[in-house]
Structure 1
Amino acid sequence: MARTVVLVPSALPDGEPAPDDGALPAEPLARMGTCDFGVYVHVPFCATRCGYCDFNTYTAAELGGVSRDDYVDVLEREFALAARVLGSARRPASTVFVGGGTPTLLPADQLARIVELVDRYIGLDGDAEVTTEANPETVDLEYLKTLRGNGFTRLSLGMQSTASHVLAVLERQHTPGRALRAAAEAREAGFDHVNLDLIYGTPGERPEDFAASLDAVVASGCDHVSAYALIVEGGTRLARQVSRGRIPAPSDDVAADRYLAADRVLSDNGFAWYEVSNWARGETARCRHNMLYWRNNNWWGFGPGAHSHVGGVRWWNAKHPARYGQRLGDGLSPAQGRELLTSRERHLEDVMLWTRLSDGLASCALDEAGRRGARKALADGLIDAASWDSGRVRLTLRGRLLADAVIRDLVS
C-alpha cells in the first residue's frame, strides 16, 4: 500500500529550468477553468526530526538565518507572484491545505494570516475546505479556537499510535494520549472535520497495539482516518538503524494484516474507504483537498520544495528555505524546475490516481494493453466484477493490498 500524494519530497526531480518570472504557457492557463483549483502551503519547520521522516523539513539548527517570525512575509511574495502569473485565468480556491513540517509551530494568528493571503491574492470559494496539519503537542483549545474563528474548517492530527514503544521507534515527541485529547479540543473549538493519522507496521508493534490504536480512533469521534504502512526511506535515521541491524525491517505480511484489521474495524464503525489509505464517515467527511490531487486537478504549492500543477505543467520550488526566500527577495520565481506533461503522461497519471479511489476509473480510459491488464486483475480477484461490468475499474479489498501492482498492469 503506497502512501498518498507527496508534495514536498526530500529529493527534487529532474526537469527543465523554470522561467525566472514563473510564466506559464497559454494553453495550460486556458485549462484552469475546467476543474477545481487548490492551494497547498508548506511550512517546513519542525521542533525535532522524526527518525522515519523523509519530508523537506528543518529544525532551528538547520535553517541558517531563516526565521519562523518572518516566514509568512516571505510566503506573501510568492502569493503576489501567483496572482501575476495566473492573471485573469485564476479561479477561487476550493481547498487550502497547510502542511509540513509542523504548521502549528507558527502562532495561530500567522496561520490565520495565510488564509487571508489566499483570499486576497487567489480568492476563496464561499464553502472552501481549509485544513492544517498539527502536531498534537503544539495546540491547545485556545489555539484551535483561533484557527476555527479565522477560516480553518478541518484539522489533521498526527497520532501514529497509542503505544508508547511504537512512538519511541518512530521518534515521535507526543505522548500516547495527547492526539486524542487534541481531537476532543478540536471538536470543542468547533471543528466538524478532524482527521487522525495512523502508521502501522512499525517494528515492535504488536497486533494488540494496533487494535488499541484503532479502538481509540473510533472512540475519539473523528470523522476521518488516514492509515499508512511504515516505509523506510533512504537517508533517514530509521534507514540507518535498519541497515545496521538495530531495528528489523518492516514486514510486508504484517503490513497487510494491519491493513485488513484497519478496514474491518473502521468499516464496522461507520467509516468507508474512499482512497486506498483513507476512510471517512460519509462523503462530506472526505478530504476534498486530497481528492483534488487524486483527480489530477490543479493546485499551486507555496513554500520551499512545494510542487504545483496547472493544466499539465508541473513545477517545484527551491528546496531550502534560505534559497527559496532569496529568490523571492530578488524578485524571481522560487521555482527550480518544471516539466510539461504530454497528453500520454497526463493520461497515465489519471489512470494511476483514479484507480486508487473507491469511485474507480472509467474502463473506457484504458488502452488495449491496460484492458488486458484489467482483465488479468479481474481474473485474479483484484478488480470488482460487478463494477467492471458497469464500466468501472474498482479495486477489491485484496486489490487494495496490491494496488501498486494492479496499477502497473493498467499502465504498462
Structure 2
Amino acid sequence: MGAALPLGEPAPLDGVLPVAVDPEAPFSVYLHVPFCRVRCGYCDFNTYTAGELRGARQDQYADTLLREVQLARCVLGAAGPLRPAATVFFGGGTPTLLPPGDLARMLDGVREAFGLADGAEVTVEANPDTVTDAVAAELAAAGVTRLSIGMQSAVPHVLAALDRTHEPANVATAVEAARRSGLDVSLDLIYGAPGESIDDWRRSVSSALALSPDHVSAYALIIEDGTKLARQIRRGEVPTPDDDLQADMYELADELLAGAGYEWYEVSNWARETSQRSRHNLAYWQGADWWGFGPGAHSHIAGVRFWNVKHPAAYAQRLASGESPAAGRERPDAEATELEGVLLRSRIREGLAIADLPAERRPAVAQLIADGLIEGRAALGGRVVLTLRGRLLADAVVRTLTR
C-alpha cells in the first residue's frame, strides 16, 4: 500500500498555500486511481485491491476526486490566476479498472476547473487486459491523447515472477485498439526480474518494437522494502537482482531502441519523435508546477510540496467534511532545491546547464568527461549531458556534482 509519507509540517485544513503562484509557470495535473485487481510483488505504490479498501467504494471514487478538483480551483484561484493544464496524467494503480465514463468525468472536471491548454497531452495508464476497442474509443472521445500500456515483459515466466496477470498477447490487442482510436501509444517495460535472462529481455524489447509504439519506457527492477518480492529475497526464495546483468540489459535496450529509430531523452525513456516524448514526465524533471489528485498523491506548486493522506477512506472522509486531504507539506531549502535540480535535469537529454552549478563544483565537470560519464562536446557548449556509461552511473554523476 505504498511507502510511508514524508515528514513535513502539517497542512492547513483549508489547503491554502503560503505563496503566490507564477502565472507564467507551466501547470500539470496528475490523477491517481489507487485500484488494482492484484498487487504485483515488486510494487510499493499507493494502491489497493478490493479486499483492502475498507470503507471506500470504487464506484464513488470519481465523485470524491472531483471534490478535490473543486478545492484545488479555490486554493489556486486565491494564490494567483488559474492556469490551464498543459498535461494530464491518469496513473495508479490501474486507471482502466474504472469505467471509461468515470475517467471522462474526472477529465471534464479538470477541464471545467482549469481549462486544458491547446494541444494538451492527456495520458491514461492501462493494464493490457482492460483495453478494448470500446474503452479506447470512449477515452479518445473524452479527450485522452495517449495510452501508456504496462507491458513489462513478453515472457510468461518473467511476468509470473513479477506477479503480472495479463496475457502477453493482449498487449498487441491493446495497442491495436488504441491505434484505431487515434491514440498515441507508450509501452512500459521492466528488466532484471528474478530468473530473467538477457535473451528473455531481448525477446521483450524486440516484441515491444514489433508493435511500433511511439514511446518506450524501460525501468530496472528495484526491490522496495515492504513488498512481497523483498520478503521473498530476504527468505532466499528468489535471487537478488544482478546489477551487472541489469547494466547489460540497459545497454541492450538502448542498442535495440536506437537501431529502431528511438532516441533516449531521459535515462529510462525513449521516443521516436521529439513530439512523442512524455511532456507530463518532462514537467516533473524540469520542475514545473503540478497538482496531484487522489489518496497519497503528491503536488508541487510554487516551490511548496504537499501530499495527501494515503488511504482512500481517509481521503474521502476529509473531502466529505469540506477539508483538504493534504496530510503535510514542506518548502525545501536552497540546498535541497539545488540537489533536486541536479538530480532531475542531469537525467534528461538536454542536460544541466553548467552555469547553474555553484562555481566551486564546476571543476568536477572535467573529471566526469575524463571518466567518460558526460559528453565532452556538450560540456564545451555549457551543458552536462550523460553518455551511455553516464546513464548507467547517473547517481554517481549527481554525487560528484553536488558533494
Does 1:307 pair with 2:298? yes
Give how far 1:11 is off: 1.6
Native 8 Å contact 1:45 1:101 kept in 2: yes
Q: State the one-letter code of the partner of 1:44.
A: P
Q: Secondary structure at the match of 1:197?
A: strand
Give how far 1:10 is off: 2.4
Native 8 Å contact 2:294 2:308 kept in 1: yes
Structure 1 residues 47-86: Cα deviation after superposition (integer angstroms, max 9, x where no partner): 1101110000000100012111110110111011100001
Q: Secondary structure at the match of 2:230?
A: helix
Native 8 Å contact 1:16 1:337 kept in 2: yes
Equivalent residue number for residue 384 of structure 1: 375
Q: State the one-letter code of the partner of 2:255.
A: R
Give how far 1:189 is off: 1.6
Residues 114-263 of structure 1 mapped to structure 2, 5 A cutoff? 114-191=106-183, 193-263=184-254
Native 8 Å contact 1:38 1:96 kept in 2: yes
Equivalent residue number for residue 17 of structure 2: 24
Q: State the one-letter code of the partner of 1:55.
A: F
Instruction: Indicate which of 309, 322, 335 corresponds to 1:318.
Output: 309
Following the alignment from structure 1 to structure 2, what is the Cα–Cα distance between the partners of residues 256 and 372? 28
Q: State the one-letter code of the partner of 2:40.
A: C
Does 1:65 pair with 2:55? yes
Following the alignment from structure 1 to structure 2, what is the Cα–Cα distance between the partners of residues 203 and 76? 40
Q: State the one-letter code of the partner of 1:234.
A: D
Does 1:368 pair with 2:359? yes
Please identify, of 387-396 and 212-221, the stretch whose mean Cα deviation from structure 2 is larger.
Answer: 212-221
Structure 1 residues 129-172: Cα deviation after superposition (integer angstroms, max 9, x where no partner): 00010001112111111001110000000001000000000000
Q: State the one-letter code of the partner of 2:92.
A: G
Q: Secondary structure at the match of 2:363?
A: helix
Instruction: Indicate which of 42, 47, 50 corresponds to 2:32.
Output: 42
Q: Secondary structure at the match of 2:224?
A: coil
| Structure 2 portions without partners, runs of 5+ | none
Give how far 1:124 is off: 0.8
Q: How does the TM-score come out when normalised to structure 1?
A: 0.95
Q: Secondary structure at the match of 2:48?
A: coil
Aligned-residue sequence identity (percent) comes to 55
Q: State the one-letter code of the partner of 1:20.
A: L
Q: State the one-letter code of the partner of 1:12.
A: L
Following the alignment from structure 1 to structure 2, what is the Cα–Cα distance between the partners of residues 98 and 165? 29
Structure 1 residues 88-114: Cα deviation after superposition (integer angstroms, max 9, x where no partner): 422000000000000000001111111
Q: State the one-letter code of the partner of 1:397.
A: L
Q: Secondary structure at the match of 2:9?
A: coil
Native 8 Å contact 2:304 2:331 kept in 1: yes
Equivalent residue number for residue 101 of structure 1: 93
Superposed CA RMSD in Å reads: 1.1
Equivalent residue number for residue 8 of structure 2: 15
Q: State the one-letter code of the partner of 2:5.
A: L
Give how far 1:9 is off: 5.0
Following the alignment from structure 1 to structure 2, what is the Cα–Cα distance between the partners of residues 53 and 188? 31
Q: Secondary structure at the match of 1:356?
A: coil
Following the alignment from structure 2 to structure 1, what is the Cα–Cα distance between the partners of residues 397 and 24? 29
Structure 1 residues 357-399: Cα deviation after superposition (integer angstroms, max 9, x where no partner): 0000110001134323322212211010000011000000000
Native 8 Å contact 1:296 1:349 kept in 2: no
Instruction: Indicate which of 97, 108, 111 corresponds to 2:103.
Output: 111
Q: State the one-letter code of the partner of 2:11.
A: A
Following the alignment from structure 1 to structure 2, what is the Cα–Cα distance between the partners of residues 342 and 123? 32
| Structure 1 portions without partners, runs of 5+ | 1-7
Q: Secondary structure at the match of 1:325?
A: helix
Native 8 Å contact 2:347 2:394 kept in 1: yes
Q: Secondary structure at the match of 1:341?
A: coil
